[in-house]
Chain A
Amino acid sequence: MKTKKLLGILLASLLVMSLLSGCSLFSGGKPADKIIIFQSKVEITDQLKACAKAYEEETGVKVEVWETTGDDYLQQLKVRLNNNQHPTIFSLAPGAESQELKNYLADLSDLNFVDKIAENMAHEIDGKVVGIPYTLEGFGLVYNKSLIDASKVKDYDSFVQMLKDLKDQGVNGFSLSSESYFLIGHILNTPFALLDDPLDYINKLVAGEVKMQDTEEFKEFAKFMEAIREYTNNPLEVTYDKQCGDFATGKTASIHQGNWCYPMFKDYDIDFEMSLMPFPLMGNDKLAVSVPTCWFVNSQVSAAQQDAGKKFLEWLYTSETGKKYLMEEFKFIPVVEGMESPNLDPLSTAVSKFAAEGKTIGWPNSNWPAGIVDVYLQPVTQEFFTTNMSGEELLAKLTDAFVQAGNK
């Protein structure tokens, strides 16, 4: 009896619910005239929604923003593209990701601002512009200016000297953190970027024709890693949150991060200045700066939809309102001529300064075999930081990882 009553209550409440919401369970209702945006940078979701509203007010075209979490965006995108649940505009990292999905990318060469995109920043596949860059991001050493004099950390010796000096003062000189990219994905980018032809090297590495342990840049990289293991806290015990907290409270003098980490400091009272400097491998004085993400228009939606998507991008990058959102709300660093960001945070300022002076190296890590950082490189690095494995062994294992991942 009781169960029936309970069931009755459930069903009744359900009936009331459906009446209240006034909708049938299968109401889909997809008017064709709206643009759907699905993108990975969750941090700007709220601002993007406001921007979509502004676009609707100015042009009458409805824009819907689909949400997800930062972790499962790519998987969600793939499932959606496979069952014709198509977003009009979506985002991807240029490189291995966009190559894999290149059949889904519309040609954007005819957008009216394509020729104003900064040199080498528009993303091209097979000679066609397909991706419009979001912003610039740069990574290297985010450092505390009151603890580190950037002009004195120029190479391996001075880097190690810095670690030792600070250790004597009870400060951790440098910190990686345990997440895959923050542990190895970013820092391993530098030796690749310093090579004459990184892409060629990656191909040869995967084919087994070259080995990291025979390459100068990587040999020095291994020395750096050994020094980091010896003189700094174990990165496997440091989460991204803790790493930023230690830095903000002066317990750590520098962290291997990029300008994206600035919002992590917003709740702290910080009493020092910070900036970004290059990771001084082989005397490197250039910051690793590139485009983390691009907008793409889906080639699998109707021609009218694709046009609507392109119009939105043109509006975003050329109209006053659009530019205002890019610069002031999303806090992007300009990648298209005629834009200026009025109030960048100190780290982004450093990135745009290095970019303006041309003192940048690229991100060949976006051309590594897909998934390699999480599936292969992170375990090897974890082993390095929990055992006494030598730097040379680390290189040998990293080389194996590339061969394995590239030949799947």
Chain B
Amino acid sequence: MYRKGDNAWYALFVLPLTLVFVTVVVIPFFIGIGYSFVKWDGMKLNPMTYVGFDNYSRIFADSGFWTSALHTTIFTLASVLIINLLGLAYALIVTSRLRVRNAVRAVLFMPYMIGGLILGYIWQFIFSDMFKNLGQLTGWTRVFFNWLLDPDYALVAMIVVTTWQLAGYIMIIYINGIQSIPDDVVEAAKVDGANFWQTLFRVRLPLLMPAFTVCLFVTLSNCFKMFDVNVSLTGGGPNNATELMAMNIYSEIFLLSNYGYGQAKAIIFFIVIASITLIQVYQTKKREVEL
């Protein structure tokens, strides 16, 4: 199928975007790696001293970084699982023949549009004031109390808000996946006498593997680098119990002005996440069914 001139076509199709991508993402990232070997506060006119791997060796003794890594792992595992289960369920519901599906689809996607400080304000209000009042009203003070003051529940609160925001987003990608399943395959299964659950688990889900690859990866990367919800909802508190890695790195660079050290943290962070997520992509890609 290859012909003369194919390489030129290849370049024409791939180069333009890749060039932009390289200048915007790849080169800055490599410059960033360079900065992880210096002690510097990030200002061009201020002195920069080469320290070799010092920044990296310091990381091993930085308990704050590892604690935030632990929080990030717990947060990500829980969020990825819940978001994907819900997102898939939503997608199945809104592609069904139910009459309310259009309205439901619109509503579920809406949370993704609200971000930043306002998001934090609203959810802070819900988890602190409203929960306290609900607790007093119903007497269920074990469930309804100020979640943001409790180290464990504050992390749960972050998972709730992240799920609320991202489940609708992931739903959109799952819908896309469900659409690529040819109707005749599903019909054929029905004709063969398969019930709803059998078609779901034997036919539709296996055919959804490409969508799984994408959605798992998108949620993994979004949750690992979660920053907005962290800053605006809990600010990392109480007592750093909910500080995630992106925020830890951000504070190092922009609040404490340790640019080189912060970059070193970012590189370690990247290597760890990259290995996990690429393994995930590789594994799920293998399971995809080619039509």
Chain A positions within 8 Å of B, measured between CB atoms, are: 71, 74-75, 78, 81-82, 100-101, 103-104, 180, 234, 236-237, 239, 300, 369-371, 374-375, 378-380, 382-383, 386, 405, 408
Which residue from A104, A234, A408 sits with its C-beta under 8 Å from B45? A104
Closest residue on chain A to residue B42 by CB atoms: A78
Please give the distance in Å from B156's CB to the nearest CB on chain A.
Answer: 16
Contact digits for B238-270, partner A, Cβ 8 Å, 1 yes 0 no: 111000000000010011111001000000000
Please give the distance in Å from B282's CB to the nearest CB on chain A.
Answer: 31
Q: Is the CB of A375 within 8 A of B251?
A: yes
Q: Is the CB of A371 within 8 A of B251?
A: yes
Report the Cα distance A180→B132, complex, angstroms: 23
Q: Is the CB of A103 within 8 A of B149?
A: no
Residues of A within 8 A of B87 (CB): none
Q: Is the CB of A82 within 8 A of B43?
A: yes
Q: Is the CB of A408 within 8 A of B237?
A: no
Which residue from A82, A239, A369, A386 sits with its C-beta under 8 Å from B239? A386
User: Given contacts A371-B256, A375-B251, are A236 and B42 in contact (CB under 8 A)?
Assistant: no
Residues 33-47 of B at the A interface (beta carbon under 8 Å): 41-46
Q: Can you add 13 more A-B contacts, CB < 8 Å, to A237-B132, A379-B237?
A: A82-B43, A100-B46, A101-B43, A103-B43, A103-B46, A104-B43, A234-B149, A236-B237, A237-B146, A371-B255, A379-B239, A386-B238, A386-B239
Which residue from B45, B128, B256 sits with its C-beta under 8 Å from A375? B256
Residues of A within 8 A of B258 (CB): 408
Report the Cα distance A383→B45, complex, angstroms: 39
Q: Does chain A have a CB within 8 A of B165? A: no
A–B complex contacts, Cβ < 8 Å, 26 sampled = A74-B254, A78-B42, A82-B42, A82-B44, A100-B46, A101-B43, A103-B45, A103-B46, A104-B43, A234-B149, A236-B237, A236-B238, A237-B132, A239-B124, A371-B251, A374-B255, A378-B237, A379-B236, A379-B237, A379-B239, A380-B239, A383-B238, A386-B238, A386-B239, A408-B256, A408-B258
Residues of B within 8 A of A371 (CB): 251, 255-257
Report the Cα distance A78→B40, complex, angstroms: 13
User: Given contacts A82-B44, A383-B238, are A75 and B254 in contact (CB under 8 A)?
Assistant: yes
Query: Interface residues of B, CB < 8 Å — how many?
Result: 26
User: Given contacts A100-B257, A371-B257, are A81 and B239 in contact (CB under 8 A)?
Assistant: no
Report the Cα distance A380→B240, complex, angstroms: 9
User: Given contacts A82-B42, A82-B44, A103-B45, are A386 and B255 in contact (CB under 8 A)?
Assistant: no
Chain B positions within 8 Å of A, measured between CB atoms, are: 41-46, 117, 124, 128, 132, 146, 148-149, 235-240, 251, 254-258, 261
Q: Is the CB of A382 within 8 A of B256?
A: no
Please give the distance in Å from B109's CB to the nearest CB on chain A.
Answer: 18
Q: Is the CB of A386 within 8 A of B149?
A: yes
Q: Is the CB of B256 within 8 A of A81?
A: no
Q: Is the CB of B256 within 8 A of A405?
A: yes
Closest residue on chain B to residue A84 by CB atoms: B44
Interface of A is mostly: helix
Report the Cα distance A369→B146, complex, angstroms: 32
Residues of B within 8 A of A383 (CB): 238-239
Interface of B is mostly: loop
Report the Cα distance A71→B117, complex, angstroms: 10
Please give the distance in Å from B5's CB to the nearest CB on chain A.
Answer: 27
Report the Cα distance A386→B149, complex, angstroms: 7
Report the Cα distance A239→B261, complex, angstroms: 33
Report the Cα distance A81→B255, complex, angstroms: 17
Please give the distance in Å from A341's CB to the nearest CB on chain B.
Answer: 32
Residues of A within 8 A of B46 (CB): 100, 103
Residues of B within 8 A of A81 (CB): 43-44
Please give the distance in Å from B119's CB to the nearest CB on chain A.
Answer: 14
Report the Cα distance A382→B237, complex, angstroms: 7
Closest residue on chain B to residue A236 by CB atoms: B149
Residues of B within 8 A of A370 (CB): 255-257
Report the Cα distance A93→B149, complex, angstroms: 31
User: Given contacts A236-B149, A237-B149, A239-B124, are A100 and B43 in contact (CB under 8 A)?
Assistant: yes
Report the Cα distance A91→B101, complex, angstroms: 53
Nearest 7 Cβ contacts at the A-B interface? A371-B255, A103-B45, A383-B239, A371-B256, A382-B238, A379-B240, A382-B239
Most chain B beta-carbon contacts within 10 A, residue among A104, A380, A382: A382
Report the Cα distance A318→B137, complex, angstroms: 61
Report the Cα distance A71→B236, complex, angstroms: 16
Report the Cα distance A408→B264, complex, angstroms: 14
Please give the distance in Å from A373's CB to the nearest CB on chain B.
Answer: 9
Residues of B within 8 A of A75 (CB): 254
User: Given contacts A370-B257, A371-B257, A374-B251, are A237 and B128 in contact (CB under 8 A)?
Assistant: yes
Residues of A within 8 A of B261 (CB): 408
User: Given contacts A78-B43, A103-B45, A237-B149, are A375 and B255 in contact (CB under 8 A)?
Assistant: yes
Which residue from B41, B132, B149, B235 sits with its C-beta under 8 Å from A100? B41
Please give the distance in Å from A380's CB to the nearest CB on chain B.
Answer: 7
Residues of B within 8 A of A234 (CB): 149
Report the Cα distance A78→B46, complex, angstroms: 12
